[in-house]
Amino acid sequence: MPNTNTWYRFGLILMMVITSHTSMAASPTTSSERIGSYKIEGQIFSPSDDKALDDMRVLVNEGEYVGIPRVDGTFVISSVPSGSYVVSVSSPWYVFEPIRVDINANGKIRARKVNFLEPGKVMLVKYPLHFDTYNEPNYFKKREVYRWNDIVFNPMFAPIILGMILFFFLPKLLPQEQEAQQIIPEANDIFQPKYNIPDIADLCARWFGGPRRQGQAIQESMVQEAIKNNISGLISMNIFLSTTAESHVAFIYATDGSRLPLYASVVFEIDLKRDNKNQSFDRPFAVIAEHNSKRDEKEILFAMRTIFRVISVKEYDSACLIDLEVETQVQECLSKLTVHLRTDNMHPIASELTLGNFLLNMGELHQAQQFYAIMLQQKALSNDNDSEKALLYNTIVMLHCSNTLMLW
């Protein structure tokens, strides 16, 4: 039994030794197949500063494999398996361009430039690698320096220089005191208004102005008879017509008619554009906004007895909006207006009594009595109707009574 145990132990020890030897023999082959045995070689061409190489390191894929350059700048990185790698040089003093190295399964090595924008574009470089393109890194932003060309090319520089030139040289170009005194009267003559020259403001208001409006309260009967029943007819006013270019001002003057029950709120709208081409007389209005205390009203004053044509009459809220047009056929309309003023709503003899009434108002009673006597004699010789003679007799009697009361 002892011999059997001894041989048994000897056999176990022998098997363990054989197994360990087999494992040790197979281990290098497996490790070599897993890691690979390829090398990446190259050289760094740095400036004459030898100390720069001490701080340099060659990195494969940003530190997956690291190589240390020798004194002459050469380096070798061993045990690199097949694949594609980016080889770069890390240095605090210089910046080198990285290079891509491709190693196939057969151990063939190809080097090309790194192009992150176009990875498919291949630009081959020499192998072993040569790192000779370098720049100094800029870790700090360069401070801006104020230069003279910054001042010259400044947009505000030219106006300042021009102002300084005018300030120093313009007084020398101006005339002396005596010459200036001679120029001032001539300049005053230039700016004096000349009535044969049209006013620019008036021309602008006439050619380019919009409608002009005038608001007021008028008796309803007059609106009905003289305006609403007179569409396409002519109207004229025996007063100066004050208008405005602002519509809200016209409606303020027109009011809403609540304070005057028997009156209607009327707004006249006069369009100045309609008479630009055919108007054959001087402008019948004047822009007086500058002479008015309320300049914001933009007042425009029409002359007395300016003839308008009624275009339309419309109801606008509580007011009556009347659209007027300045009549261009002036001579014919003036003749009609004169006849109308002499005959409409007046006695035929009223125009002949005007001078007598004027003398009465002046207090010349004796001269007025003589005038009426002459008129009565003319009516008697002309055999006119009795109504006119009766009017003259009545006037003479009233005048005689007035003289008697004054004498008493």
Which are the contacts of 61, defined by CB distance < 8 A and separation ≥ 6?
85, 86
- The hierarchical CATH code for the domain 200-343 is 3.90.176.10
Decide if domain 38-135 falls under CATH 2.60.40: yes
User: What Å distances lie between residue 94 and 37, 56, 142, 196, 310, CA to CA?
Assistant: 31, 9, 18, 88, 95
- Sign (positive/negative) of CA torsion 174, 177, 183, 184? positive
CA distance 180 to 190: 15
User: DSSP class of residue 143?
Assistant: P
Per the CB < 8 A criterion, the answer to whether 364 and 402 are in contact is no
Per the CB < 8 A criterion, the answer to whether 99 and 87 are in contact is yes
Residue 216 buriedness (CB in 10 A; 0-12 / 13-18 / 19+): middle
pLDDT computed for residue 205 by the predictor: 47
CA distance 301 to 292: 11
pLDDT computed for residue 33 by the predictor: 42
Q: Which parts of the chain sit beneath pLDDT 50? A: 1, 23-35, 190-191, 193-201, 203-209, 274-281, 331, 344-349, 381, 407-408
pLDDT digits (tens, 9 = 90+) for 28-71: 444 444 346 788 888 888 766 667 777 888 889 888 888 888 88
pLDDT computed for residue 394 by the predictor: 74
pLDDT computed for residue 385 by the predictor: 59
pLDDT digits (tens, 9 = 90+) for 182-200: 655 555 554 454 444 444 4
pLDDT computed for residue 254 by the predictor: 67
Which residue carries 């398996």 as its tokens?
A: 81
Sorted by where each begins, the domain ranges of the chain are: 1-34, 38-135, 200-343, 354-407
